[in-house]
A = this chain, B = another copy of it.
């Protein structure tokens, strides 16, 4: 029975190459994969035939035959507040760049953060979880399937998975420490979505540093948001109405900090005269307002890079390789949005 031929992309197959080169497909395979020994003369013939036919081996056949996949799935929550952020773009960019360097294919997958759906990992050789609100079970699933995983932007203590996170708590502490060093004591905090580890850790660091400085932590100085500019606005409006208003505020993201600045302006307040502000992220748009934002820089690109590197290592090592837990330091970037008081 002859089937109608329907090669995927009009590609030539290894058989065509073999025929043209006058060797067996095995030899062609050897040349392509640079394994085994092939007489120089035959190698040359194959190389030429490949060139002439513009042959590109079918990944599907290759993967089917080897049982290996070099597809890396990058999972990013579709969650508005997160995905619209500077964060996501940096991540994608850095991940994409490094994947190419490692010859890995990058599959982008926007996940719904509160899903119960199991992940479809068909054909995926490795996974990068870029945020794991409510999707821990997906990591466990992947682990069960023996698929190499790395989690980025979250420190995962209790799962045998590699992760690379950022020292959010330390970053927050450095922000508060800086404000205190300028003489501030009434320091508010506009926090992000507390369901995210980053926001929780930033809040934690804020509280810890105040305690360390023996400054009382006031409930009314802490505003919880979902990272959106809308909620940042609401928080800012409340903040300015507090009878004994804070002289400084540490905001969990630059984009929210920008919103706070906008509200301040609308209310006729000046930054930093009436309020000192420190953000978090080092989002370039923090540079272009009327007053440049002081912020905590997080090494996003480095994080993505480390993540891909680690995943690549895992994918190329035998199973059961030891996992790594990495925490990257932050850096305070002092610009113009804070002033010394008293």
* Chain A residues within CB distance 8 Å of chain B: 6-11, 54, 56-61, 63-64, 66-69, 74, 78, 83-84, 88-89, 92-93, 96-97, 100, 105-110, 118, 120-125, 144-147, 229, 258-259, 261-262, 265, 284-285, 288-290
B67 in contact with A8 (CB, 8 Å): yes
B123 in contact with A8 (CB, 8 Å): yes
User: Can you list 13 A-B pairs, Cβ within 8 angstroms, ordered by A?
Assistant: A9-B146, A10-B144, A11-B145, A57-B122, A58-B64, A60-B64, A74-B108, A92-B108, A96-B108, A97-B110, A106-B108, A259-B288, A285-B288
- Other-chain residue from B10, B100, B146, B265 in contact with A145 (beta carbon distance below 8 A): B10
Known contacts A84-B89, A289-B288, A67 near B147 by CB under 8 Å? no
Query: Could you tell me the distance in whole angstroms from the C-beta of A58 to the nearest C-beta in chain B?
Result: 6
Known contacts A89-B84, A258-B288, A289-B288, A63 near B96 by CB under 8 Å? no
Q: Give the distance in Å from the alpha carbon of A79 to the alpha carbon of B97 in the complex.
A: 12
Which 5 pairs from chain A and chain B are nearest by CB?
A: A6-B67, A59-B123, A60-B64, A60-B63, A89-B89
Q: Give the distance in Å from the alpha carbon of A9 to the alpha carbon of B120 in the complex.
A: 11
Residue of A7, A123, A265 with highest tally of chain B CB at under 10 A? A123
Complex contacts, A124 vs chain B, CB 8 Å: 9
Q: Give the distance in Å from the alpha carbon of A262 to the alpha carbon of B61 in the complex.
A: 55
A63 in contact with B288 (CB, 8 Å): no
A68, closest chain B residue (CB)? B8
